[in-house]
Amino acid sequence: MPPWGAALALILAVLALLGLLRPRLRGPWGRAVGERTLPGAQDRDDEEANGGGPADQFSDGSEPLPGGCSLVCKPSALAQCLLRALRRSAVLEPGPRSWLSGPHVQTLCHFVLPVVPGPELAREYLQLADDGLVALDWVVGPCVRGRRITSAGGLPAVLLVIPNAWGRLTRNVLGLCLLALERGYYPVIFHRRGHHGCPLVSPRLQPFGDPSDLKEAVTYIRFRHPAAPLFAVSEGSGSALLLSYLGECGSSSYVTGAACISPVLRCREWFETGLPWPYERGFLLHQKITLSRYATALEDTVDTSRLFRSRSLREFEEALFCHTKSFPISWDTYWDRNDPLRDVDEAAVPVLCICSADDPVCGPPDHTLTTELFHSNPYFFLLLSRHGGHCGFLRQEPLPAWSHEVILESFRALTEFFRMEERMKGLSRHRTSFLGSRRRGGALQRREVSSSSNLEEIFSWKRSYTR
């Protein structure tokens, strides 16, 4: 960890400790920073004893799972497959309560603590169409004996990992990459312009929900691994980039399945409301430190004095992308272009969102989760847990975060589901051809089966997926 990273970790820990020790300090949602985020939290233990949970507020389309979790989704064939996989999962079984159960502890361990030992990374720089650079960190080690191949063809599936929007490579992102490598995936981490050591060679940064750079990176990944399945996972605020990409690309996204850990779905409200002050100050400080090295390069396009004087994430975002010297735009226009759910109806990839009811960064689920999305859209699934903090979901060491296990198990269930659907399509085509040949068995002149009798569309996985 670099020296400034250690300093940032120390500041975050002190700020969070102050928030925990001063319960009278009110956060932006009208509660104490150290309090639970879910209304009625004082009765939580009684709810757990009676089998209730945070997803009780999502009465329709909610299925109970072990450990007090719930799956919120629209009923479908794939939803049943995913539900069976989650109910068989041992990682959701409730374990003994420990000091890791608190939401702030879960969140801070995720953002502050390093992973030891870290993975071995091989970096590639990808030059974009406008001559900008993004970085791809391929996880190449440590090599694990007995790796399991995840795809039917014997090729390892590629797992594209998108960190948070601030560019910090967290403990859980690296832990997910190590676990995926052990399970037979080929993980690669996407870094935006100027993030995590990627040089900023042009005075342009990537807006919050602009997927143009990610599109070029995915195209390159497909060029390198044309036959391998591609899965994608995003963390926290980085989910805006993944959801924007899936919405804009639709069925042409090349992605087989996706997952979002503690996604920020109502992004504009999230910026405007603000975070509890320890997290707001910590994330803002991290961004200022990251961009301070490019202050001279950004002077021609951004009012750097205003940028580094900003006192909130919203002011920082506005100074960086709205109040530019060349093409200033309004706050409304910025979110018309960058809202991650602007094209969500076009998404054609199953997306599993894992959220916690005690998330101190996103806030209470009844205010921050767009439940109508999961009730009406068959491509989106919400796994809601009682505990986990923001992107935490930790268990006792040395076990990885249970969210990582759930994500990889859901991807395996997706692979099996699609494989079964392809098998059904093949059987239906064979049956159609066989019956057609029997009807024409006595005919003197044999004719080729008409293509109009092809039932591929009826038995495609999309049809089965939404029934």
Instruction: Give the residue numbers marked as catalytic.
Output: 359, 390
Query: Half-sphere exposure of 395 toward its Cβ, with a 13 Å CA cutoff?
Result: 17
Cβ within 8 Å of residue 238, ≥6 positions away: 162, 163, 164, 165
Helix or strand (DSSP H, E) at 385: strand 380-385
Q: Is 286 exposed, middle or buried (0-12, 13-18, 19+ CB in 10 A)?
A: buried
Beta bridge partners of 260: 234, 353
Query: Half-sphere exposure of 82 toward its Cβ, with a 13 Å CA cutoff?
Result: 31
Please check whether residue 436 is in contact with residue 453, taking contact to mean a CB–CB distance below 8 angstroms: yes
Say how far apart CA 142 and CA 119 lie, in whole Å. Answer: 6
CA torsion through residues 66, 70, 71, 75, sign: positive
Please check whether residue 390 is in contact with residue 262, taking contact to mean a CB–CB distance below 8 angstroms: yes
Query: Half-sphere exposure of 213 toward its Cβ, with a 13 Å CA cutoff?
Result: 25
Q: What beta strand segments (E) does 65-179 contain?
A: 70-72, 120-127, 133-141, 158-162
Alpha helices in 303-363 (DSSP H): 304-309, 313-317, 331-338
DSSP state of 219: H
